[in-house]
Amino acid sequence: MSLDIARIRADFPLLAQEHNGHRLVYLDSASSAQKPQSVMHAMDEFMEHSYANVHRGVYAIAEAATARFEAARATVAGFIGARESAELAFTRNATEAINLVAHSWGRTNLAAGDVVVLTEMEHHANIVPWHMLAAERGIELRWIPIDAEYRLDLTNLDETLSGAKLLAVTAMSNVLGTVNDIPMLVRAARSAGAHVLVDASQAAPHLPIDVQAWDADFAVLTAHKMLGPSGIGALWARRELLEAMPPFLGGGEMIRDVRKDGFTTNDVPWKFEAGTPAITEAIGWGAAIDYLQGIGMDAVHEHEVELTRYALDALDAEFGERLTIYGPSTTDARGGVISFLFPAIHAHDVSQVLDEEAVCVRAGHHCAKPLMRVLQIPATSRASLYLYNDTDDVDALIVGLTHAEKFFAVDPT
């Protein structure tokens, strides 16, 4: 069941570009994915015909806009297996969703000495909000380490989780590609009495996910990594948690009543949606999910696993031990994020050479500096694969890397 990549690529106008006479090779989808025509059309069509603010006007287009906005919520909620749309609050992005949990649930439920468990492979978005809470409330952070295969080292898991109030863990590393066993981690956290927040930003675009099967308490995701627009993300949480949580931001929409002496909050999820939301972006996100579901997330994942296997083999065949790959060597529980480094060439310099050949990769710490410190490196280059990439893209990467290696050779020959 292989995907018809030529047909998929035709849906992404940006990928048809050339730079410096080279076909554009986009290998930075882990940072942000490109957008299919259907997403752009949905957003344009909505603005041309139905745009109005939501949950306010009684006129026809306002009703239509509200209905479509709420339909988009239902689409996102369905995509992640939520029990009901009311469990899904739109946010600006996954980062804001984690901040929402830290601010609202965290400040209500965590006190000095309480433990939040993170992992060494978290993105800054799932670290800094907890550092901020630690500074404010004196909570303790514990870290699940990674092992030599770049997977979570679960040797002391029960000890680490002992007495913890929350485990906040990514479903898939944005640096290593490692896919974590969330159901197992949730079971371990539950038996320690901890709640679980899953950062699904990197997993949701690439794998079928099901928050109920995970049995998690919170999950966050963002539209722009899954073919949707930037500026919108979501927090999913079990309804009883959302209902017990105080609001995050105050303003319009999130209230039921406001008086001179106070306010009462709206129902969930609107309680967490102060101010006019990203309406057109929600429509775009819905269209992005329709596109992904039209292909099927199992097929997307299968394609990426095959392509990752191809890339890992090709990199090994060409460079062997001259290139270090920071991520699992097998494609079991691994996504299409490939971080690599020539030990003597800085990731920025490699990316610069690749850019000359229109190969777009990310270079840097990938918003995971604690992980970089564990790996004892300042940065990596990172190629990330998606449904529109094929073996030609991987081959272009490898050609570019041979040029980078030659260009920066310590002893040019």
* Residues annotated as catalytic (active site), given as ranges: 367
d(Cα 329, Cα 349) in Å, to the nearest integer? 25
d(Cα 231, Cα 302) in Å, to the nearest integer? 29
23 counts as binding other proteins under rule CB under 8 A: no
The strand pair at 18-19 and 262-265 is best described as unpaired
Would you call 282 helix, strand, or coil by DSSP? helix
Phi-psi label, residue 69: left if phi above 0, alpha if psi -120 to 50, beta otherwise: alpha
Element holding 166 (H helix, E strand): strand 164-170
Choose between 31 and 162: whose C-beta lies nearer to other proteins: 31
Q: List the beta bridge partners of residue 88.
A: 236
Choose between 115 and 341: whose C-beta lies nearer to other proteins: 341
CA neighbor of 135 nearest in space, from 165, 168, 102 = 102
Q: What is the DSSP string of 81-140?
A: T-S-GGGEEEESSHHHHHHHIIIIIIHHH--TT-EEEEETT--GGGTHHHHHHHHHH--E
Choose between 289 and 353: whose C-beta lies nearer to other proteins: 353
The answer to whether 116 and 164 have CB atoms below 8 angstroms apart is yes
Q: List the beta bridge partners of residue 325.
A: 340
The answer to whether 119 and 133 have CB atoms below 8 angstroms apart is no
Minimum CB–partner distance for residue 239 and other proteins (Å): 39
30 counts as binding other proteins under rule CB under 8 A: no
Residue type, 111: A
Element holding 40 (H helix, E strand): helix 37-49
One residue of 42, 200, 288, 372 binding other proteins per CB under 8 A: 372
Choose between 190 and 369: whose C-beta lies nearer to other proteins: 369
32 counts as binding other proteins under rule CB under 8 A: no
Minimum CB–partner distance for residue 160 and other proteins (Å): 27
For 337, the token pair is 């994020």
363 counts as binding other proteins under rule CB under 8 A: yes
One residue of 88, 127, 375, 379 binding other proteins per CB under 8 A: 379
Choose between 261 and 411: whose C-beta lies nearer to other proteins: 411
H helix and E strand count, the chain: 15, 17
Site residues for other proteins, window 182-211 (CB under 8 A)? none
Site residues for other proteins, window 393-412 (CB under 8 A)? 403, 407-408, 410
# chain residues binding other proteins, by CB under 8 A: 19
One residue of 62, 364, 374, 399 binding other proteins per CB under 8 A: 364
Site residues for other proteins, window 312-351 (CB under 8 A)? 346-349
20 counts as binding other proteins under rule CB under 8 A: yes
Minimum CB–partner distance for residue 303 and other proteins (Å): 31
365 counts as binding other proteins under rule CB under 8 A: yes
Would you call 235 helix, strand, or coil by DSSP? strand
378 counts as binding other proteins under rule CB under 8 A: yes
User: Which of 56-64, 127-135, 335-343, 358-366 is the region at the interface with other proteins (rule: CB under 8 A)?
Assistant: 358-366
For 197, the token pair is 């927040």
Minimum CB–partner distance for residue 14 and other proteins (Å): 20
Minimum CB–partner distance for residue 367 and other proteins (Å): 10
Residues near other proteins, by CB under 8 A: 20, 346-349, 352-353, 356, 363-365, 369, 372, 378-379, 403, 407-408, 410
